[in-house]
Structure 1
Amino acid sequence: MKINNVIASLSLLGAATAVEMTRYAAASGVEPAFESYLKELYASAEDPAATTTFTDMFTPDGQLIVLANTATGADAIIKLKQALLPPAGNKHWNHMPNVTTVDSQTTSRKTYKVLGVIETRFDGGNCSQAYYSTRFTVTKDASGAAQLKTHAGNLVTYDDFIVQPSQSPTNIPCGTD
């Protein structure tokens, strides 16, 4: 795994401030509770110091997938997260999700697809952005409802399947529509 390619996988990254949800737009079938679930998930992902507050969102065998890199289980997820967002805190990301749809579902799982923009800022330097598409798969309870309680071990997969451009910093300045 090339660290530049991993770092380029920006959808894990975010600023230490609040997650930007002003462009969030949920389609039919997306529960209102998913917005706050996503906001908390991104806040944990964007915090360079977060370890268990990020991994406690996942099932014990949950997966974090960033393009061609797959981490399974808490230890591997933390390792990949720290490769993307060093705990030193000199890099900051800001997720700006927009179109959110239901990608698929079964009797035991529901998958949401989120499109958005991710900004990456380096202390004392560059701010650029990329576009992302991510699938989030959560478990369902016995009644068939998606389990959207945060930090409750219900996230099966966090799959950043598109990050464009895939190199960081990008040639797209922050704030570009």
Structure 2
Amino acid sequence: MGSPAPRPVSDTEDFADQMAAHQARLESFIRSVTGDADAARDILQETNVVLLKKARDYQAGTNFAAWAFRVARFEIMTWRRKAGRSRLTFDDDLIAQMAEVAEHQDEFYLNRVDALKHCLRKLPERQQSMIRRRYLEEWSVADLARETGDNANAISQLLFRARQNLLNCMERALGRGDSLPDPVEP
């Protein structure tokens, strides 16, 4: 039997982006289970090796985080078996429970990020611009006032209204479980 067809470049790039985006959360999860920073880095590397070896099995558009955390869980169990009684380690059931919690936290975080992007796009252009400058570019209220020719109180009021609009939008989006559109990358 021949080797599988090469994956399209866009799938490969998506896979690499997904791996990069989840490294910190995977390492945090592994470290929380093992309690050993050095072991966590080693297990993360082993997890990455397995993910890369099984990259062809990953279906683009599916839940990468769930898959990656499952692989990490198995790598932790392998490490635990190798460590034997020489270390205090968690049992497999507890590791499985921790992995499930980590997956849900990851999903919760990603849903909130998607909701925030969705709600930011719904703000009036002036509010979007002020939010971007104030919080992403870290402009002071005084700098925004100088740039726009408005007084600082007017800028503060505009930012307050923008934050209220974001809060209301996110409560609606997350509270009702609305399906949000795919985020548009800046």
Compute the TM-score of the two structures, normalised by the length of structure 1.
Answer: 0.22
Greater helix content: 2
Greater strand content: 1
Highest RCO, 1 vs 2 (Cα 8 Å, sep ≥ 6): 1
